[in-house]
């Protein structure tokens, strides 16, 4: 008996869909989730004691792989001292200092407990600062499950093909205008028409939640210029890209300074975290310095700060980004080429250690184009790979992540599994 399936049946009776976050369900790939028991480096083990190479990496936070010894010690040492106070600690200053040093657009930062809280708070702040209501987002971008941002959203919302979300009042959804990613002319037209109503444009500077989609040259620059011209704010949602594409995030890579930045995932080192920060004159509106209320019992809690700080410290010491990029090139392009050899067309989108293989023709520059990918074929590939010990995100519209614990050996093993999977799929079609 498959223990994973057994646990899934039990879980479904107690937890909606058997999962505490929809993206973990394997519905979209015609399967059921693995119930994992432990992880080490690039590997995870399921309830049958089967071992997998992990390309989910907890959806991004684990850039150092599972249970990095230094991160685990940092958490253990902190746990001996205290779990939480609900009072300030020096660790919070160290965290703020590290982020402010590495991301010059951020002069002040506030810690929260999830990426969702970060984007929700950033929008409240942007609306207060500009005294405007409307927010522009892009189709296929996901910014957490904030009511007003679940419009044409990515991640699980895209995977399950949900256009809006029941329970979100029209009046909330109506404050959001969602436009196609990479289509600057539509943004220009909108600003010409009602630029004076737009509080902010929020964007994933490299999209990771419709699968990986890169910004075309001029798109982010154009957003920066337009928001500045119309006195509206530019918010970069770097919850994935922060410390993933480099120490300075996507803003460092593209050399664009947003007004507000949202962070999460990696800065918690595997513990729950989020943060939003930006220019001083904007951040000074946040309570109790200003009047924009935002709070959290466990915000900046010592365990998450210790894990996040140790993670950032290791990233600064090791600068693993060039090595991650070449490993990721070998992986993504390698699988793309294997597909091409056997006549399975794959569009390979990746940047640094995040990437997606879209089954179908490219280029893929937007959610509209991503939706053209063959999710059924991806589902078959997913199931074949899982049988061969490769744990992928269970959706065509998600990013795969590599960690510093992944190496050429894991990539070779994965390429071999991909080759066998393609052969198996083609054989079934005969
Ligand atoms: C994961 C994610 C979020 C939400 O973060 P949670 O911690 O899951 O609430 C927001 N924005 C982006 C870009 C994300 O990838």
Regarding beta strands 233-237 and 198-203, do their DSSP bridges make them parallel or antiparallel, or are they unpaired? parallel
- Give yes or no for residue 406 CB within 6 A of ligand 1: no
- Taking Cα atoms as reference points, which of 296, 265, 330, 311 lies closest to residue 115? 265
DSSP state of 266: G
Examine the domain organization and report whether 234 and 348 are in the same domain.
no
* Average pLDDT of the chain to the nearest whole number: 96
Residue 54: φ, ψ to 5°: -95, 115
28, HSE (Cβ side, Cα atoms, 13 Å): 22
Closest approach atom of ligand 1 to CA 240: 15
412, HSE (Cβ side, Cα atoms, 13 Å): 3
Which of 317, 332, 362 is the last residue before a domain boundary?
A: 317
Pinpoint the alpha helices (H) of 263-301.
Answer: 280-283
Examine the domain organization and report whether 222 and 260 are in the same domain.
yes
- Give yes or no for residue 32 CB within 6 A of ligand 1: no
Q: 170 lies in which domain range?
A: 69-317
Examine the domain organization and report whether 223 and 336 are in the same domain.
no
- Give yes or no for residue 375 CB within 6 A of ligand 1: no
Which of 273, 294, 317 is the last residue before a domain boundary?
A: 317
pLDDT recorded at residue 347: 98
Examine the domain organization and report whether 184 and 142 are in the same domain.
yes
Examine the domain organization and report whether 213 and 341 are in the same domain.
no
CA 153 / ligand 1 centre spacing (Å): 12
- Give yes or no for residue 61 CB within 6 A of ligand 1: no
CATH number of the CATH domain containing 287: 3.40.640.10
Overall domain count for the chain: 2
pLDDT recorded at residue 155: 77
CA 143 / ligand 1 centre spacing (Å): 6
**Any idea which residues carry the catalytic annotation?**
142, 237, 265
pLDDT recorded at residue 108: 98
Residues of the chain with pLDDT under 70: 160-163
Examine the domain organization and report whether 303 and 357 are in the same domain.
no
CA 112 / ligand 1 centre spacing (Å): 12
Nearest-CA residue for atom 11 of ligand 1: 143
Examine the domain organization and report whether 325 and 224 are in the same domain.
no
Instruction: State if pTM tops 0.95.
Output: yes
Give CA angle at 235 (178, 332), nearest 5°.
80
Mutate to test the pocket of ligand 1, among 111, 112, 143 (most ligand atoms within 8 A of CB): 143
- Please give the torsion angle defined by the CA atoms of residues 220, 221, 224 and 230, in that order, rounded to the nearest 10 degrees: -110
User: What separation in angstroms does the CA of 303 have from each of 79, 85, 102, 206, 354?
Assistant: 7, 11, 22, 29, 27
CATH number of the CATH domain containing 42: 3.90.1150.10
pLDDT recorded at residue 150: 87
Residue 25 near residue 17, CB atoms below 8 Å = yes
Question: What whole-number distance in Å separates Cα of residue 267 and Cα of residue 325?
Answer: 20
Examine the domain organization and report whether 26 and 168 are in the same domain.
no
Residue 353 near residue 325, CB atoms below 8 Å = yes
Examine the domain organization and report whether 212 and 360 are in the same domain.
no
Examine the domain organization and report whether 277 and 171 are in the same domain.
yes
pLDDT recorded at residue 165: 85
CA 265 / ligand 1 centre spacing (Å): 7
pLDDT recorded at residue 214: 98
- Give yes or no for residue 240 CB within 6 A of ligand 1: yes
pLDDT recorded at residue 429: 85
CA 142 / ligand 1 centre spacing (Å): 7
- Give yes or no for residue 396 CB within 6 A of ligand 1: no
Question: What whole-number distance in Å separates Cα of residue 209 and Cα of residue 202?
Answer: 14
Residue 66: φ, ψ to 5°: -75, 140
Mutate to test the pocket of ligand 1, among 56, 155, 209 (most ligand atoms within 8 A of CB): 209
- Give yes or no for residue 209 CB within 6 A of ligand 1: yes
pLDDT recorded at residue 162: 63
Which of 270, 296, 317 is the last residue before a domain boundary?
A: 317
Examine the domain organization and report whether 396 and 306 are in the same domain.
no
Examine the domain organization and report whether 304 and 385 are in the same domain.
no
Question: What whole-number distance in Å separates Cα of residue 352 and Cα of residue 333?
Answer: 13
pLDDT tens digits for range 331-375: 999 999 999 999 999 999 999 999 999 999 999 999 999 999 999
């Amino acid at each position: 008996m498959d223990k994973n399936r057994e646990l899934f049946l039990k879980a479904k009776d107690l937890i909606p869909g058997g999962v505490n976050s929809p993206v973990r369900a394997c519905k979209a790939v015609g399967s059921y989730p693995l119930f994992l028991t432990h992880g080490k480096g690039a590997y995870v083990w399921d309830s049958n004691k089967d071992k997998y190479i992990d390309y989910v990496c907890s959806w991004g936070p684990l850039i150092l792989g599972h249970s990095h010894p230094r991160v685990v010690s940092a958490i253990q040492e902190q746990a001996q001292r205290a779990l939480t106070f609900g009072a300030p600690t020096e660790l919070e200053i160290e965290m703020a200092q590290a982020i402010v040093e590495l991301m010059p657009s951020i002069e002040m930062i506030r810690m929260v407990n999830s990426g969702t809280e970060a984007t929700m708070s950033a929008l409240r702040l942007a609306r207060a600062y500009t005294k405007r209501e409307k927010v522009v987002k892009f189709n296929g971008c996901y910014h957490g499950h904030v009511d007003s941002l679940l419009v044409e959203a990515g991640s699980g919302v895209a995977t399950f093909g949900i256009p809006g979300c029941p329970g979100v009042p029209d009046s909330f959804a109506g404050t959001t205008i969602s436009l196609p990613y990479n289509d600057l002319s539509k943004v220009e037209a909108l600003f010409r028409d009602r630029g004076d109503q737009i509080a902010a444009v929020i964007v994933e500077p490299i999209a990771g939640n419709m699968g990986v989609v890169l910004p075309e040259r001029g798109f982010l620059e154009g957003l920066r210029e337009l928001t500045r011209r119309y006195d509206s704010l530019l918010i970069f949602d770097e919850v994935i890209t922060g410390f993933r594409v480099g120490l300075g995030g996507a803003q460092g890579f593209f050399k664009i300074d947003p007004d507000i930045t949202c962070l999460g995932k990696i800065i918690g080192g595997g513990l729950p975290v989020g943060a939003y920060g930006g220019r001083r004159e904007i951040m000074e509106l946040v309570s109790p310095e200003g009047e924009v209320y935002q709070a959290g019992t466990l915000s900046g809690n010592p365990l998450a700060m210790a894990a996040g700080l140790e993670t950032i410290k290791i990233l600064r010491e090791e600068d693993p980004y060039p090595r991650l990029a070449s490993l990721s090139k070998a992986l993504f392009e390698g699988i793309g080429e294997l597909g091409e050899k056997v006549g399975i067309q794959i569009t390979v989108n990746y940047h640094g250690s995040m990437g997606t293989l879209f089954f179908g023709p490219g280029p893929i520059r937007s959610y509209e184009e991503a939706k053209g990918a063959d999710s059924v074929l991806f589902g078959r590939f997913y199931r074949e790979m899982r049988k061969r010990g490769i744990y992928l995100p269970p959706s065509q519209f998600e990013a795969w992540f590599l960690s510093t614990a992944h190496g050429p050996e894991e990539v070779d093993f994965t390429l071999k599994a991909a080759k066998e999977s393609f052969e198996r799929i083609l054989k079934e079609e005969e």
